[in-house]
């Protein structure tokens, strides 16, 4: 079994600093705002779990920062491709690496990145070779991603053992120009094969069901009437459900950013991590108000990385509020947490109340994405 492995080292850098991606000029803006790489750490988590699983396959690895730089830390059997890469990688680097992997006859291509990386790979593969994403983007709408780096390693092991189903799923991406104008526009760019193990692969993102606008309005009015208190700071996360709350309060919110509310006035718009932490020195009693990524179940780690581990710890688990329509909840059985901080993900796990209408609430468990396979296996044994 030959597995191609590559890393987009700049994927996801923009999340903590309030950007919606790192394509093109956004990369340089992310650097100016102090963004740090996140993909290398996720790559290491994937490789460490693969080693723990005693993976017997052979890795064909991209050179330098796109892969081989991290291989000496493992004992996995591998070969480094002799193709030059650059510190600030581009689509050209990804395309060149994948072409070489195809010449090597790989059975699967595993990449660390986001939707943009998936699109670049889709342009090269022949439609027969499956791909699998180790999630490291800001928002990931495609259906080729595992729920966490650890889950990706489990899927690779299962695929190598012939125990994973191969599905055909969407490769999609958001229009960053539209995002910069304040609205969400997602396009499906093509279809790709991907190995799948139940509960370990993220479904294609639900692009939105706007027929439940009345439910969003009811949720917003209930939260406004019962939860908004004077002299409390509310961090309003991305999404149309949270925007409905802002509308009910009569304030203008960014659709895909994190905004801050104090005594019914916005005191911060489209904030990054640094901007949020700065507000904590000026305003007290912070809360986080978020919704769920439709069909995927994530509450942290997808599209709201500005709500970083530092921010979440400063607020505390008890002041996290989740708003979601019944139609969105109908597609998920549990919530997922993927902040990038393993210990925090564990601390945040447990049951959460979710506001679903006016004086209507439900409860769902939240699990750390890194350990979802182990948790579900234990639950299954307890049921049996």
Euclidean distance between CA atoms 345 and 296, whole angstroms = 17
- Our CA angle for 34, 267, 239, nearest 5°, is 75
Q: How far is CA 71 from the centre of its chain?
A: 24
User: Domain spanning 2-196: which CATH class is it, in words?
Assistant: alpha beta
Note whether 132 and 194 are within 8 A (CB): yes
Q: How far is the C-alpha of 288 from the C-alpha of 150, rounded, in Å?
A: 27
Q: How many residues does the chain have?
A: 384
Tracing tokens 């890194």 back to the chain, one arrives at 370
User: Residues 6 or more apart from 16 whose CB is under 8 A from it?
Assistant: 35, 36, 38, 272, 273, 305, 306, 308
For the chain, the farthest-separated pair of C-alpha atoms sits apart, in whole angstroms, at 63
Which H/E stretch holds residue 303? none
Q: Which residue(s) pair with 323 in the sheet?
A: 355
Q: What is the reported pLDDT for 137? A: 77
- Residue 262 CA to residue 118 CA, distance in Å, equals 40
Q: How far apart are CA 104 and CA 102, in angstroms?
A: 5
* Digitized pLDDT (tens) for each residue of the chain, 384 residues in all: 899 999 998 776 655 545 555 555 554 444 455 556 678 889 999 999 999 988 989 999 999 889 898 887 778 999 999 887 766 778 899 999 999 999 999 999 999 998 889 999 999 997 789 999 999 877 778 889 999 999 999 999 999 999 999 998 888 877 666 665 666 667 778 889 999 998 888 776 655 444 578 899 999 999 999 999 999 999 999 999 999 999 999 999 998 899 999 999 999 999 999 999 999 999 999 999 999 976 689 999 988 999 999 999 999 999 999 999 988 888 788 999 999 898 999 999 999 999 998 888 888 999 998 887 777 666 555 444
**Is-contact 101 4, C-beta < 8 A?**
yes
Q: What pLDDT score was predicted for residue 117?
A: 92
Q: State the pLDDT at residue 374.
A: 75
| pTM for the whole structure | 0.68
For residues 62 and 68, what is the distance between their CA atoms, to the nearest angstrom?
6
The residue extents of the domains of the chain are 2-196, 210-383
Q: Which helix (H) or strand (E) holds 374?
A: helix 372-383
**Among 147, 197, 155, 146, which residue's Cα sits nearest to residue 367?**
147
Token duo for residue 317: 């688990």
């Amino acid at each position: 079994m030959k597995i191609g492995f590559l890393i987009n080292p700049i994927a996801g850098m923009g999340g903590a600093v309030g950007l919606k991606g790192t394509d093109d000029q956004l990369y340089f803006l992310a650097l100016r705002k102090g963004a740090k790489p996140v993909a290398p750490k996720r790559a290491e988590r994937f490789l460490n779990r693969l080693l723990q699983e005693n993976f017997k396959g052979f890795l064909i690895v991209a050179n330098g920062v796109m892969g081989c730089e991290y291989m000496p830390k493992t004992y996995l059997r591998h070969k480094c491709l002799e193709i030059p890469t650059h510190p600030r990688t581009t689509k050209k680097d990804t395309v060149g690496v994948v072409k070489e992997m195809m010449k090597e006859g790989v059975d699967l291509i595993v990449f660390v990145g986001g939707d943009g990386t998936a699109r670049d790979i889709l342009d090269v593969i022949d439609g027969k070779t499956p791909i699998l994403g180790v999630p490291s983007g800001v928002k990931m709408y495609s259906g080729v991603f595992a729920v966490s780096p650890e889950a990706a390693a489990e899927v690779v092991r299962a695929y190598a053992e012939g125990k994973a189903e191969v599905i055909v799923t969407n490769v999609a991406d958001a229009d960053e120009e539209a995002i910069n104008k304040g609205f969400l526009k997602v396009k499906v760019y093509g279809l790709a094969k991907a190995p799948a193990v139940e509960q370990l692969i993220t479904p294609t993102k639900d692009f939105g069901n706007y027929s439940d606008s009345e439910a969003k309005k009811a949720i917003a009015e209930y939260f406004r009437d019962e939860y908004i208190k004077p002299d409390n700071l509310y961090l309003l996360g991305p999404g149309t459900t949270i925007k409905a709350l802002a509308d009910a309060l009569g304030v203008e919110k960014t659709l895909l950013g994190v905004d801050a509310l104090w005594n019914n006035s916005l005191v911060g718009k489209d904030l990054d991590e640094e901007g949020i932490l700065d507000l904590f020195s000026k305003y007290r009693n912070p809360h986080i108000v978020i919704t769920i990524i439709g069909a995927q179940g994530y509450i942290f780690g997808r599209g709201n990385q500005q709500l970083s581990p530092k921010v979440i710890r400063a607020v505390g688990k008890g002041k996290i509020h989740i708003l979601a329509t019944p139609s969105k909840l109908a597609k998920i059985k549990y919530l997922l947490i993927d902040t990038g901080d393993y210990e925090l993900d564990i601390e945040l796990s447990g049951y959460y109340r979710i506001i679903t209408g006016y004086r209507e609430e439900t409860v769902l468990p939240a699990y750390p994405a890194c350990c979802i396979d182990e948790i579900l296996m234990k639950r299954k044994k307890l049921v049996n």
